[in-house]
Structure 1
Amino acid sequence: MAVNVETLDKLERKITLTLPVNVIQSEVDSRLKRLARTVKMDGFRPGKVPMTVVTQRYGYSVHYEVMNDKVGEAFAVAANEAKLRVAGQPKITEAEQSPEGQLAFDAIFEVFPEVVIGDLATAEVEKLQTEVTEAAIDKTLDILRKQRRTFSQRAQDAGAEAGDRVTVDFEGKIDGEPFSGGKAEDFQFIVGDGQMLKEFEEAVSGLKTGESKTFPLAFPEDYHGKDVAGKQADFMVTVKKLEAAHLPEVNEALAKSLGIADATVEGLRADIRKNLEREVKFRLLARNKTAVMDALVSKAELDLPKSSVQAEVDRMIESARADLKQRGIKDADKVPVPEEMFRPQAERRVRLGLVVAELVRSNELQAKPEQIKQHVEELSASYEKPAEVVRWYYGDNRRLAEVEAIVIENNVTEFVLGKAKVVDKTVSFDDLMAQQ
């Protein structure tokens, strides 16, 4: 039977569904009889409740369930017969008129759009590249040494300098009044590590053990402590202990302590290079992927299903509320979150998802099992026991699905780079690593 599909808007469609009343009633009766065999009610033995009582108690809810099921089935059959790709859930309402012995319903829904991707050869994509230099290895070595530094007490007449660990007492006041978090005893921090505000570090620099200093400190407008953000305080700080830092030598002992298989300085540097090159590869791929996706979206023409955009907005709001909850915000699920704040990003995500899906379908860019395996092994390589991490990924279909999505994006990236005008650009290692 041909299905009459009415076009209401670009992507909006309408189908009228009809269901025979006797089919609905027959299914309702069947379900109520099954229910009567197991239902428990005061005053009756199980399975002996009269049908009139069962119908009176459960008739409405069973009828509602049957209607939902049958209308859903009818819609699925009609959409399949009309070869429609339905986006989101249909909005179903009872029709104004029904044929004799029939119930009629109008199903209004959206379909996925036709995606037209223009000539990718005219797209221009900036492709970044980076080299892992000896200087980058030296810098990483310095970080590793800092993580393993030890401290020893400095001479009484020595002043605090960058790298020293200081133990202080301090108290701050705003307009002469103490404030929450403004006082501490035996507080430790390392000068120059950025743990404290600049004025605080400058005040402590040069002070000797036992010396005190009073100084003004202006809290930034965006300071995490909202009560003091943008205000000026007066602090008094006293240095109680000064300790100098000692970094371990770059030698075989350091390599051994880091668990390097080839416990030599050359082996240590080679291991650092391998890890940095892996990190650089992932970062470059992420940056280049973003550039490719921007180019891809710019070359595509399509209408966006409103239901898909709304579903994405809802997901983003839910994620935002979960983030607020994790940060300890009270009643995070009730905090008003304006939808329009997320709509542009939601529209981009939906557009990109549809464009990528079309490119993958038309060019057979699906993830192959060996590609997924290779990516999992790359992700696992930086861990102490890679085989266990590989098993962890393969032990959960959701985790594997996430990897599959990344591999598909990588396939799309390589495909587009092979077609587009690629402009190579070299960025420094430091610039690449500094960008989130």
Structure 2
Amino acid sequence: PRVDIKGRKIEKKTCKVESADVDRTIETLRKRRTTWEPGETPAAEDDRLLIDFKGTIDDQPFEGSEAENYPVVIGGGTMLKEFEEQLTGTSVGDSVTVNLTFPEDYPKSEIAGKAAQFTVEVREVGKPGLPELDEDFIKSFGVEEGTEPAFRKQILENLERERDQRIRNDIRMAVIEALIEDNEFDLPGSMVEEEVDRAVMASRTQLQQQGLPSDGPVDRDLFQDSALRRVKVGLVMHEIVKQREIKPDEAAVRKRLDEMASGYDDPQQFINWYREDRSRLAQIEAAVVEDQVVEALIEEAQVTETTVSFETFMNPAGMATAQ
């Protein structure tokens, strides 16, 4: 296999966390603590309704078509947009009929693209109230000083940490894409089958955790492409580590552990937990070695840097939708 990306073009996006990004995060945190007070005015954007509803398709009920005392925030996106929009202007005690068509790409294929009708009873219209940015609110996030400057400092550090992690991940994915593009070589069939086995097992475990049946037949072909990719990436990475004799840098291991531990109440306990078990520490070392491989490869590529806003960088799909 090819074990370098010399001359390949890699785009690296960078951004600076601005004061407005901290402001936006604070507002998001306040909204997560929203309280709802019954109101007398009709339902409007951001109001939370408690509703009973019954739905039918071709005059027949369907799975998930009925609920009582169900919370819906208008504009919150918990229900289809068409459903929420038709609740605007309703009041407590109103009974309305909501007509909509499920999108063609709706997750439940049995009702995707079909027209439905819902009878909705409005039990309550709650008006939102946001908590004050006071000492109690700030301390609830672990900022002992309880002051706004200390709160903003903590948020800034967290956002910068998220940004740095995102940059690393994006560069890693770009390097891997450049590394395996047009890089054809024979893959051991047994390794691919083992990778498919792991993917199937992970899928069954996820179904169990969701309380869904997990012992039914599984189409292994669904996991084939991703298994081929993982095996190819693993073999190429292994060859690079071997040829370049890359060893985990202890300083980088310490830094990675410190970053991971920073979000815990007792960071040192978290670090000790990893260091006292060789297999756990090996996971961190493997991640560090992969970073070192990426760093070595990126030096040989043609890297172009693009500066974007923090919001665009962290949520490119959302910004594209908004535009």
The TM-score, its normalising length taken from structure 2, stands at 0.87
2:307 matches 1:417: no
2:258 paired residue number: 377
1:219 paired residue number: 102
* Cα displacement (A) at 1:329: 4.5
Q: Which has the higher contact order (CA 8 A, sep 6+)?
A: 2
2:288 paired residue number: 407
* Cα displacement (A) at 1:327: 4.1
Q: How does 1:221-370 map to 2 (within 5 A)?
A: 221-298=104-181, 302-330=185-213, 332-339=214-221, 341-370=222-251
2:60 matches 1:174: no
Larger % of strand: which? 1
Residue 261 of structure 1 aligns with an amino acid whose one-letter code is E
Residue 14 of structure 2 aligns with an amino acid whose one-letter code is Q
1:151 paired residue number: 36
Identity of aligned residues (%): 37
2:7 matches 1:125: no
Cα pair 1:126 1:424 within 8 Å, conserved: yes
Cα pair 1:167 1:240 within 8 Å, conserved: yes
**Structure 1: where are the runs of 5+ without partners?**
1-114
**Rounded Cα–Cα distance in structure 2 between residues aligned with 1:301 and 1:166:** 56
Cα pair 1:117 1:301 within 8 Å, conserved: no
Residue 12 of structure 2 aligns with an amino acid whose one-letter code is K
**Rounded Cα–Cα distance in structure 2 between residues aligned with 1:261 and 1:329:** 43
2:321 paired residue number: none
2:269 paired residue number: 388
2:312 matches 1:427: no
Q: Judging changes above 3 Å, is the alpha-carbon distance between structure 1 residues 325 and 240 closer, same or farther for their aligned structure 2 residues?
A: closer
Moved more, 281-290 or 385-394: 385-394
Secondary structure at 1:169's aligned position in 2?
Answer: strand
**Rounded Cα–Cα distance in structure 2 between residues aligned with 1:180 and 1:314:** 32
Q: Judging changes above 3 Å, is the alpha-carbon distance between structure 1 residues 227 and 351 closer, same or farther for their aligned structure 2 residues?
A: closer
Question: Among residues 129, 137, 141, which one is paired with 2:26 in the alignment?
Answer: 141
**Rounded Cα–Cα distance in structure 1 between residues aligned with 2:289 and 2:135:** 43
* Cα displacement (A) at 1:300: 5.8
Q: Judging changes above 3 Å, is the alpha-carbon distance between structure 1 residues 196 and 369 closer, same or farther for their aligned structure 2 residues?
A: same
**Rounded Cα–Cα distance in structure 2 between residues aligned with 1:347 and 1:304:** 8
Cα pair 1:300 1:355 within 8 Å, conserved: no
Q: Which protein shows a greater Rg? A: 1
**Rounded Cα–Cα distance in structure 1 between residues aligned with 2:110 and 2:233:** 42
Question: Among residues 279, 292, 317, which one is paired with 1:398 in the alignment?
Answer: 279
* Cα displacement (A) at 1:316: 2.9
Secondary structure at 1:279's aligned position in 2?
Answer: helix
* Cα displacement (A) at 1:403: 1.4
Q: Judging changes above 3 Å, is the alpha-carbon distance between structure 1 residues 426 and 322 closer, same or farther for their aligned structure 2 residues?
A: same
Cα pair 2:2 2:179 within 8 Å, conserved: no
Residue 133 of structure 1 aligns with an amino acid whose one-letter code is E
**Rounded Cα–Cα distance in structure 1 between residues aligned with 2:137 and 2:61:** 46
**Rounded Cα–Cα distance in structure 2 between residues aligned with 1:349 and 1:268:** 41
Q: Judging changes above 3 Å, is the alpha-carbon distance between structure 1 residues 175 and 312 closer, same or farther for their aligned structure 2 residues?
A: closer
Q: Judging changes above 3 Å, is the alpha-carbon distance between structure 1 residues 296 and 215 closer, same or farther for their aligned structure 2 residues?
A: closer
Residue 151 of structure 1 aligns with an amino acid whose one-letter code is W
**Rounded Cα–Cα distance in structure 2 between residues aligned with 1:380 and 1:130:** 25
Residue 232 of structure 1 aligns with an amino acid whose one-letter code is A
Q: Judging changes above 3 Å, is the alpha-carbon distance between structure 1 residues 238 and 342 closer, same or farther for their aligned structure 2 residues?
A: closer
Aligned residues, how many? 317
**Rounded Cα–Cα distance in structure 1 between residues aligned with 2:15 and 2:283:** 27
* Cα displacement (A) at 1:399: 2.6
**Structure 2: where are the runs of 5+ without partners?**
318-323
Secondary structure at 2:65's aligned position in 1?
Answer: strand
Residue 25 of structure 2 aligns with an amino acid whose one-letter code is T
C-alpha RMSD of the superposition: 2.5
Moved more, 264-273 or 368-377: 368-377
* Cα displacement (A) at 1:344: 3.5
Residue 404 of structure 1 aligns with an amino acid whose one-letter code is E
Secondary structure at 1:310's aligned position in 2?
Answer: helix
Q: Judging changes above 3 Å, is the alpha-carbon distance between structure 1 residues 336 and 254 closer, same or farther for their aligned structure 2 residues?
A: closer
* Cα displacement (A) at 1:220: 2.6
Secondary structure at 2:191's aligned position in 1?
Answer: helix
Cα pair 1:117 1:300 within 8 Å, conserved: no
**Rounded Cα–Cα distance in structure 2 between residues aligned with 1:299 and 1:123:** 12
**Rounded Cα–Cα distance in structure 2 between residues aligned with 1:237 and 1:198:** 15
Residue 338 of structure 1 aligns with an amino acid whose one-letter code is R
Q: Judging changes above 3 Å, is the alpha-carbon distance between structure 1 residues 377 and 216 closer, same or farther for their aligned structure 2 residues?
A: same
**Rounded Cα–Cα distance in structure 1 between residues aligned with 2:55 and 2:211:** 26
Secondary structure at 1:242's aligned position in 2?
Answer: strand
**Rounded Cα–Cα distance in structure 1 between residues aligned with 2:144 and 2:246:** 39
1:59 paired residue number: none
Secondary structure at 1:357's aligned position in 2?
Answer: helix
* Cα displacement (A) at 1:180: 4.0
